[in-house]
Structure 1
Amino acid sequence: MAGETGMFMVQQTIGSVKCCKCGILMQPNAANMCVKCLRSEVDITEGLLKRLVLVHCPDCESYLQPPRTWVKLQLESKELLTFCLKRLQKNMNINKAKLVNAEFIWTEPHSKRVKVKVSVQKEVYHGAILEQSYLVEYVQQDHMCESCSKVAANPDQWVAAVQLRQHVSHRRTFFYLEQLILKHGAAARAVRIKQMDHGIDFYFTSRSHGNKFVEFIGKVSPIRSRSDKQLVSHDVKSSIYNYKYTFSVEISPICREDLICIPPKAAGTLGNIGPIVICTKVTNSIALLDPHTLKFGFLDADQYWRTSFKSLLTSRQLVEYIVLDIEPVSSEVIVGGTKYVLAEAQVARVSDFGKNDIMFNIKTHLGHLLKPGDLALGYDLYSANTNDMEFDKYRGFIPEVVLIKKSYEEKRQKRRPKPRAWKLKSLVMEVDEKVNEDKEASEYEQFLKDIEENPELRFNISLYQNKDYQPSEVASSVADGEELPSVPFNELLAELDDLELRDDDDDDDDEEEEEDKMAE
C-alpha cells in the first residue's frame, strides 16, 4: 500500500502546445497544427473521384457491372452501397487515401442521382492522420440490358416457358406460392408472367433460368414435371440449333385442410394411420394427421405420385358446426411442431338449429382450442355423397363428422369491416380472359383470413405495414369477450417497398447462355 511503503501514484497528463498557425492550445501532433489549420493547408480529397456514372437498366432495375454482368439492386440498399464503393475504390488510388466510412444522402428517386457521403483518411505532415468527408455523386445513365432489349424488340421472344398447374377448384395454393416466389426472388428473371385458369405461366430468356425456377418450385411443393423442346432455327454452317423449351409442372392436388381417405398402400408407408386423415401442411412433402389417434406421417413427392390419391373432401365443402360439449381425453401433444389435444365432443350442424335435434358425438384433435358454444368448421361425412371406392369400404367404421378448425365468421360479421394493418405484395401478371375475377377475389380474402388465423402459414411469407392504416379510426377487434385472430405488429416489415430479389451468381450467366445454344 502507498501509506506503508511511502510511495504514491502520479497521474500522467498530456501537455498542450500552441498551433503554429493560429496559436490555439491543442494536443501535440506531428504537424504542430490544429485540425482546422491542417484542413486549410491540405485537402486530402484532392484528386479523388467525386462523380461517377452508373449504367442502369430502367426496365429490370439492374446495374451494369463491367464488362457484361447486370446486377439487380434496390435504391439505398446495402448491396447498392457496396456496389458503389467498389466502383469508387476501383478508380481510387490506394496510396492517396483510405476509405473508412460511407452512407447514402437522400435524393429524389426520379432524379437519376445516387449520392454517397464518403469519409477518407490520409497521412500528412510527418505521420499526422487527417480524416475528411466529401460527397460522391453517381449519375444513372439509362441503358437497357441485353435481356430487356430482346423483350422490348419482341415481347414474345422467350426461350423457356414454365407452366404451373394444379387441378383443383380453387387458387389457394397459387396465392401461397406467389408469396414464396416474391420472398425468395425466384421469378426475378421472368420476362413475362401470365395467370391462367388453373395455374400460372412463367417465361424466361434462358433455359437454365427456367430449370432453376422448376427446382425452386420442387423445394416448396410436391410436384412432377416434364420438359419438351421445339426447334426454332438451325444454322447449317455453324451447326447451331435454337430451341424453345417448355416445362410442364403439375402440383399435387392435395391441399392444406383437405380430408383424405388414404389408400392402404400409402397408409402402410406411414405406419398404418387412417383411413381418414387430414392434410395439415404442404411443403415439398405432405403432412397427414389422423384426428382420432394423433398419429401423423409425411409423404414426399415421389411417394405421393406413386399412389397419386385425391382428396375425399376439400375446404370448399366445409360445414359449420356448434360445439355443445367438449371434454379432453389426453394431455397436450406436439405433433409435427403443432399443438393438439385429443377430446370427445358433442356437436350439431348450425343449419339444423330450429329444424331437428340431430347431434353427433365425435373425437377431435382441437381440444385445446374449442369450448362449449364455439363454432367450428368440419366435414359432414354423415350425409356426404362421394364416389371414392376406398371410402365406401369403410362406411360404418368412420366418424360422422371431422372438425378441421375453429370458426370466427360469426364474430367477424358482428362488427363493421375493419381494414387490415398489413399488406402483401403481388406479382405483376397478365390475366387470361377465362379467369373468374369475382371468384378469385373471394378466395383471396379467405387466404388473408387464413394468414391471420394460422401463425405457421405466416412463417414463410413477408407481410408489410399498411401505410394507409389508421388505428384510431377503427373499433377494437374484441368481439363477445374474445379477440379475433390478427397479425402481431412485430411480424410486419417496416415498409411496403419493392422486395429485394436475389440473383444467382451472375458469373455463370455467360456459360449458361452458351449451354442453351448448344444442341442436345
Structure 2
Amino acid sequence: MEFVPGPAVHRVLCADCGTPIVPNSANLCVACLRNTVDITEGIPKQASISYCRNCERHLAPPAQWVIARPESQELLAICLKKLKGLSKVRLTEAHFIWTEPHSKRLRVSLTIQKEVLTNTILEQIFEIEYLVQYGQCPDCTKLAAKNTWKALVQVRQKVPHKRTFLYLEQLILKHGAQKDTISVKEVKDGLDFYYSQRSHALKMVEFLGSVVPIRTKSSERLLSTDTHTSTANYKFTYSVEIVPICKDDLVCIPLKQARQMGNINPLTICTRVGNSLHVIDPNTLQSSEITSPVYWRTPFDSLAGISELKEFTVLDVEPMHGAGAVKGKWVLADAQVALSGAFKSTGTYEDDGMMDYETSASANQIFHTRTHLGAILQPGDSVMGYFLSHTNFNSEEFTKLPQDRIPDIILVKKAYPNRRKKTKTRNWKLRSIGKEAGEEGETGGGRGVIGRMGGRDQKKVEQDYELFLRDLEEDPEMRSAVNLYKAEQAMKTGKEGSGLAGGKSRKKAQFAMEVDSGGDAQMGEGEGMEQDESGPVEAAAGGEETDDDVEEEPDFPEVKLDELLDHFDELTLGDDVHEEE
C-alpha cells in the first residue's frame, strides 16, 4: 500500500503579534482580530426593565404588560427586546446568570457571531446587566387613584326597602361576580359598581340579568381623542333597573296581560323572583311566569308590600281534594282566620281614651278565605296576610276588578311570633362586600356596602336586614341560593352576653344585632319599637311573660349545620362580615 501524504498547510505570521496562523484576508490571529474589531459595538452593556409590584407584571416593548416569572423564557425574551443593536448580529445562545433575588439586578450572558471580513466569522461572549425599576402599570395606577374608572354599572330599584340588594349582594358573593370591581358606592335607590375595563362591566350586567329581572340602557362619554391615530378614550355607563316587585308582594296584573297569561286572576301574589317573576293565584293555584320583556312592555307596580302585612290567627283549616288542589308545594285549602288578639274582653282604645270603633268592629270577626298554604297551616298557627276589607289602593287595574272577586283576606306566609320573642343567637352569619374607608359622604359604620349612607335611613336598613335574615330562615329554597357560614364566635358572645344584665329578667321581646367594628347602631333591649310581624322588632305585650315561658313553634325551619360553610373561600373588596344575634 502506497502512502499518500496530505496537502501541506501553509501558515503565515500574524501581522501584529507574529503568531503562525492560517492565512486569512486580514492576516491577523483571533486575539488581534478581537482587539481590532468589536462585534458588540452598538449593543448596550446596561439596560433597565420596568416591573409592577402590584400585579407582578413586566413591561414588554412597545407598551404591553405581561406576566413573566424570574429566569423564565418570557422574561428572557423581554430582556432581549430591550437591546437595540442585537438585530445586526447573530445570536447563538442566551441565558441568565444567577443574582440575588433582592438585588434589583438581572445578568444575561449572550453569545453572538458576526462576519467581520470576507469569509471571516467572529464569535464573542459578553454579559449585559439589567436594572429592575419598580413602577405602576396603567391598570394599577387607575386602581390607586380614587374616582378613576373606565366603566360604571348603576343598579337601581324603586322600592322603599333594601331587601333586594341585600339578597343581590349574597348572590354576587357566591358567584364571585365582584372580583373585577374596583369600587362600590351606595346611592339612594341602589348601588354603583365601578370597573377599570368595559368588558368587566358588561360581565356584571350579564350576571345581573341572569339572577334578577332587569332592563338596561348604555351611554358613553368622550374624554379625549387623537386625530393622528384615530383613537379615542371613552367612559361607559350602564343603567340597570330592577323590576320594582319583590317576593310576597300583592300584585294586580293588567287585565289584558292577565288574559294573555292563561287567563289568570289579576290579583296574585309574587312567590319567587329570579330572572323572571313567578306569581300565583291563591284561590285556584294557577301560576304564571312574567319575563322581563313582557313586564317592561306593560309595566305595573305592586299593590302592597310586606310592610303592610297583618297578623292573623288560624281558627280552622280544611284542605281541598280533587284535581288542581295540589300543585308542587302549594295545597289549596279553605281557612277560617281572625285578627291576632281577637276575642279579647277589653275593647281597643286610642291614646285619648276613646274607643276605636272601626278597628273593634273587625277585631272579633271571623273571616273565611281560600289559601294556597294548606300544607303548612294548622289551627292555632299565626299567619301573615293582606287585609283588603278596609284598604284602598291607588290603582286603576284594581278598581276595574269585580267586587265579588276581591277576597277579604289574602294569606301570604306562615308566621312564628313565639320564636321572635326569644332572644336566641343565630348560629350563622353572612359575608359582605367590603368597602374602601374614607369615601366622601360616608357616615355609616362597618355594615358593608349596604347601609353605608347612614342618617335617617340607618334604622330602616337594620329593619330590612332583619327581615332578610328571617326570609333566609323561613325559605329553604331562597337559603340554598346563598352561602351561610358558621358563627362560632357569635354563639360564644351570645352566651357570655346573657349574663351581663346584672340578674335582670330578659322579658322584652327584642332582637340584639351584633355588628362588626365599624360601629353600627345596636338595637337591643329597651328600644320599645312596637310593630307587627313585618317589622324586625316586636315589643312584649305588658312585659308579664318572659322569654323562658314562651313555647317555640315546633315546625320552625331551623338552619341545619350541614348547610353552613366553615370559612371564607376568598377575600372580597374588604373583610367586613355581617354578624347577627
Shift of 1:196: 1.2
Provide the secondary structure at the position in 2 that maps to 1:273.
coil
Partner of 1:291: 282
Judged with a 3 Å threshold, the aligned counterparts in structure 2 of structure 1 residues 439 and 451 are, in CA distance, closer, same or farther, namely same
Question: Which of 126, 143, 150 is equivalent to 1:151?
Answer: 143
Q: Does structure 1 conserve the Cα–Cα contact (< 8 Å) formed by 2:383 and 2:411?
A: yes
Judged with a 3 Å threshold, the aligned counterparts in structure 2 of structure 1 residues 252 and 69 are, in CA distance, closer, same or farther, namely farther
Q: Distance in 1 between matches of 2:212 and 2:199?
A: 20
Q: Does structure 2 conserve the Cα–Cα contact (< 8 Å) formed by 1:190 and 1:204?
A: yes
Q: Distance in 1 between matches of 2:57 and 2:272?
A: 42
Tell me if 1:424 matches 2:430.
Answer: yes
Judged with a 3 Å threshold, the aligned counterparts in structure 2 of structure 1 residues 295 and 149 are, in CA distance, closer, same or farther, namely same
Q: Does structure 2 conserve the Cα–Cα contact (< 8 Å) formed by 1:330 and 1:341?
A: no
Q: Distance in 2 between matches of 1:197 and 1:360?
A: 40
Partner of 1:20: none
Q: Distance in 1 between matches of 2:190 and 2:457?
A: 13
After superposition, residues 367-382 of structure 1 pair within 5 angstroms as 367-382=374-389
Question: Which of 408, 411, 424 is equivalent to 2:419?
Answer: 411
Q: Distance in 1 between matches of 2:548 and 2:53?
A: 47
Consecutive unaligned residues of structure 1, counting only runs of 5 or more, are 1-54, 72-82, 92-141, 502-520
Partner of 1:464: 485
Q: What do residues 102-150 of structure 1 show as CA deviations (whole Å, max 9, x unaligned)?
A: xxxxxxxxxxxxxxxxxxxxxxxxxxxxxxxxxxxxxxxx986642322
Judged with a 3 Å threshold, the aligned counterparts in structure 2 of structure 1 residues 432 and 232 are, in CA distance, closer, same or farther, namely farther
Q: Does structure 2 conserve the Cα–Cα contact (< 8 Å) formed by 1:261 and 1:277?
A: yes
After superposition, residues 87-106 of structure 1 pair within 5 angstroms as none
After superposition, residues 341-356 of structure 1 pair within 5 angstroms as 341-350=331-340, 352-354=342-344, 355=360, 356=363
Partner of 1:221: 212
After superposition, residues 28-67 of structure 1 pair within 5 angstroms as none
Q: Distance in 2 between matches of 1:143 and 1:478?
A: 65
Judged with a 3 Å threshold, the aligned counterparts in structure 2 of structure 1 residues 433 and 490 are, in CA distance, closer, same or farther, namely closer
Judged with a 3 Å threshold, the aligned counterparts in structure 2 of structure 1 residues 89 and 272 are, in CA distance, closer, same or farther, namely farther
Aligned length: 379
Q: Distance in 2 between matches of 1:89 and 1:234?
A: 37
Partner of 2:470: 449
Q: Distance in 2 between matches of 1:260 and 1:464?
A: 34
Provide the secondary structure at the position in 2 that maps to 1:327.
strand
Q: Does structure 1 conserve the Cα–Cα contact (< 8 Å) formed by 2:426 and 2:491?
A: no
Provide the secondary structure at the position in 2 that maps to 1:241.
strand
Partner of 1:212: 203
Provide the secondary structure at the position in 2 that maps to 1:411.
helix
Q: Does structure 2 conserve the Cα–Cα contact (< 8 Å) formed by 1:57 and 1:145?
A: no
Shift of 1:311: 0.5
Provide the secondary structure at the position in 1 that maps to 2:192.
strand
Q: Distance in 1 between matches of 2:427 and 2:548?
A: 13
Question: Which of 476, 486, 489 is equivalent to 2:558?
Answer: 486
TM-score, normalization by structure 2: 0.60
Shift of 1:468: 0.5
Partner of 1:389: 396
After superposition, residues 116-515 of structure 1 pair within 5 angstroms as 146-152=138-144, 154-330=145-321, 335=327, 338-350=328-340, 352-354=342-344, 355=360, 356-394=363-401, 395-413=403-421, 415=422, 417-429=423-435, 431-432=452-453, 436-470=457-491, 473=495, 479-480=551-552, 482-498=554-570
Judged with a 3 Å threshold, the aligned counterparts in structure 2 of structure 1 residues 291 and 493 are, in CA distance, closer, same or farther, namely same
Q: Does structure 2 conserve the Cα–Cα contact (< 8 Å) formed by 1:70 and 1:145?
A: no
Shift of 1:437: 1.3
Counterpart amino acid of residue 269 in structure 2: I
Shift of 1:334: 6.2
Provide the secondary structure at the position in 1 that maps to 2:424.
coil
Counterpart amino acid of residue 496 in structure 1: F
Task: Find the structure with the greater CA-based Rg.
Answer: 2
Q: Does structure 2 conserve the Cα–Cα contact (< 8 Å) formed by 1:174 and 1:199?
A: yes
Deviating more after overlay: 441-450 vs 269-278: 269-278
Q: Does structure 1 conserve the Cα–Cα contact (< 8 Å) formed by 2:52 and 2:58?
A: no
Counterpart amino acid of residue 214 in structure 2: I
Q: Distance in 2 between matches of 1:199 and 1:219?
A: 18
Shift of 1:197: 1.6
Q: Distance in 1 between matches of 2:313 and 2:56?
A: 59
Provide the secondary structure at the position in 1 that maps to 2:329.
strand
Q: Distance in 2 between matches of 1:89 and 1:245?
A: 38
Counterpart amino acid of residue 178 in structure 1: E
Deviating more after overlay: 190-199 vs 392-401: 392-401
Partner of 1:11: none
Counterpart amino acid of residue 171 in structure 1: K
Q: Does structure 1 conserve the Cα–Cα contact (< 8 Å) formed by 2:179 and 2:572?
A: no
Counterpart amino acid of residue 182 in structure 1: L
Shift of 1:364: 0.5
Q: Does structure 2 conserve the Cα–Cα contact (< 8 Å) formed by 1:234 and 1:240?
A: yes
Q: What do residues 453-472 of structure 1 show as CA deviations (whole Å, max 9, x unaligned)?
A: 10000111111111314479
RMSD: 3.4
TM-score, normalization by structure 1: 0.66
Judged with a 3 Å threshold, the aligned counterparts in structure 2 of structure 1 residues 273 and 156 are, in CA distance, closer, same or farther, namely same
Shift of 1:427: 0.8
Shift of 1:411: 2.9
Counterpart amino acid of residue 278 in structure 1: I
Counterpart amino acid of residue 425 in structure 2: P
Counterpart amino acid of residue 377 in structure 1: M
Q: Does structure 2 conserve the Cα–Cα contact (< 8 Å) formed by 1:196 and 1:435?
A: no
Provide the secondary structure at the position in 2 that maps to 1:479.
coil
Q: Does structure 2 conserve the Cα–Cα contact (< 8 Å) formed by 1:196 and 1:434?
A: no
Shift of 1:484: 3.0
Provide the secondary structure at the position in 1 that maps to 2:283.
coil
Q: Distance in 2 between matches of 1:252 and 1:428?
A: 26
Q: Distance in 1 between matches of 2:387 and 2:316?
A: 18
Q: Distance in 2 between matches of 1:146 and 1:403?
A: 57
Shift of 1:236: 2.1
Q: What do residues 187-238 of structure 1 show as CA deviations (whole Å, max 9, x unaligned)?
A: 2111110011210000111111111111110111111110111111112222
Identity of aligned residues (%): 42
Judged with a 3 Å threshold, the aligned counterparts in structure 2 of structure 1 residues 359 and 250 are, in CA distance, closer, same or farther, namely same
Provide the secondary structure at the position in 2 that maps to 1:312.
strand
Q: Distance in 1 between matches of 2:213 and 2:549?
A: 37
Q: Distance in 2 between matches of 1:500 and 1:247?
A: 23
Provide the secondary structure at the position in 2 that maps to 1:482.
coil
Provide the secondary structure at the position in 1 that maps to 2:390.
coil
Shift of 1:486: 2.1
Judged with a 3 Å threshold, the aligned counterparts in structure 2 of structure 1 residues 65 and 218 are, in CA distance, closer, same or farther, namely farther
